[in-house]
Amino acid sequence: MANSVTSFVKTVMARLQGDTDQVIAIKNERLATSAIETQIALKKGEVVEMETKVEDAKEALANVMYPTTTINRDTYVRDLLQAKNNLQDKEDALEAVKETLKYLEDTLKSFK
């Protein structure tokens, strides 16, 4: 049997000793790691969804900018600006999710 202390041994020792500082630190590490890993998985899924929304917004802008039917002068510029703003909002939201994802990944790496 190896001299290393396994998770099982740590858990049994914790139960015998109660919540010492080391036991609390071990628990917190597991909880924090698990929480961050869960959020990373969720954010990766969110990135995929947001990328699809950005593509849809680009297509919507192209449809407004280059319509295949006669342009309505009264609404063309308003619709064009609205589509452009919608695309910008989607791109900004995607960038925010990517930044959060990077922060979470960097934080997880710092735990090791």
Q: Which of 89, 90, 82 is nearest to 61 (CA)?
A: 82
74, part of any domain:
yes
Q: What confidence score (pLDDT) does residue 8 get?
A: 79
Residue 2 has pLDDT above 60, yes or no: no
Distance CA 78, CA 10 (A): 65
Q: What confidence score (pLDDT) does residue 80 get?
A: 97
What domain range is 56 assigned to? 7-110
Beta strands in 1-112 (DSSP E): none
Report which of residues 89 and 12 the model is more confident about: 89
1, part of any domain:
no
58, part of any domain:
yes
How many structural domains are present in the chain? Answer: 1
Spatial contact of 46 and 93, defined as CB atoms under 8 Å apart = no
2, part of any domain:
no
For 5, 6, 7, 11, 14, the CA distances from 24, given in Å and listed in that order, are: 16, 16, 14, 11, 9
First to last CA, the chain: 26
Q: What is the pLDDT of residues 65-109, one digit of tens each?
A: 999 999 999 999 999 999 999 999 999 999 999 999 999 999 999
52, part of any domain:
yes
93, part of any domain:
yes
